[in-house]
A and B are shown apart, each in its own frame.
Chain A
Amino acid sequence: LAKTTQPISMDSYEGQEVNITCSHNNIATNDYITWYQQFPSQGPRFIIQGYKTKVTNEVASLFIPADRKSSTLSLPRVSLSDTAVYYCLVGPGANNLFFGTGTRLTVIP
């Protein structure tokens, strides 16, 4: 399974765009990249998933360069309610099971 590395924490002001990068140097050909968000005392919540290039949904964008050795989750114009831990998971879709330590994002008023 591909090991992932993310910053432990990030701070951002409200209204700013936040980019969280995840490194996964040994990603395999059939691996997907999936991001989850977790609020305190709640289960992780799926945000976005991609395989290559760019994916966008109503919540976030995911940028994946051609070599796929990293990915960047982009949150546009964050609000206080986006304060959470963000996890990057890499693995074959069916077995994308293992969470790393995640990035704790704190949005400051």
Chain B
Amino acid sequence: EPEVTQTPSHQVTQMGQEVILRCVPISNHLYFYWYRQILGQKVEFLVSFYNNEISEKSEIFDDQFSVERPDGSNFTLKIRSTKLEDSAMYFCASRSRGLDSPLHFGNGTRLTVT
């Protein structure tokens, strides 16, 4: 079964540094998402992306965050200047065209900001 893959599995960075989290969605999927989950808390929506533009974003997704689909396969989340509170698991998800098609998630990147 095709799956969403995320790299790296764990990223450690210093406060103020830029990080790029990478995702390869399922190949025929058209809608792409980033979520995060702070340890012990719920899964929080960050942003959705379709047709090379952001379709929806949450209050968490401020100017420090950006997303990009630089080629036909990768989908990236950039955090410009990391803060301690950005430490979390970041999940990428994708889905196909149908209105009832569910989200398929990767296994996440654990970001630790020191």
Does A81 count as interface, using CB distance less than 8 angstroms?
A: no
CB-CB under 8 A from B33, the residues of chain A are 97
Interface residues in B, total, Cβ within 8 A: 25
CB distance from A26 to the nearest CB of B (A): 19
A-B contact count (CB 8 A): 53
Bound Cα distance from A72 to B107, whole angstroms:
27
Does A7 count as interface, using CB distance less than 8 angstroms?
A: no
CB-CB under 8 A from B107, the residues of chain A are 41-43
Task: List residues of B whose CB falls within 8 A of some A CB.
Answer: 4, 31, 33, 35, 42-45, 48, 56, 89, 91, 93, 98-108, 110
Q: List 11 A-B contacts (CB under 8 A).
A: A34-B102, A41-B89, A41-B107, A41-B108, A43-B91, A43-B106, A44-B91, A49-B102, A92-B99, A93-B99, A94-B99
Task: List residues of A whose CB falls within 8 A of some B CB.
Answer: 32, 34, 36, 38, 41-46, 49, 51, 87, 92-102
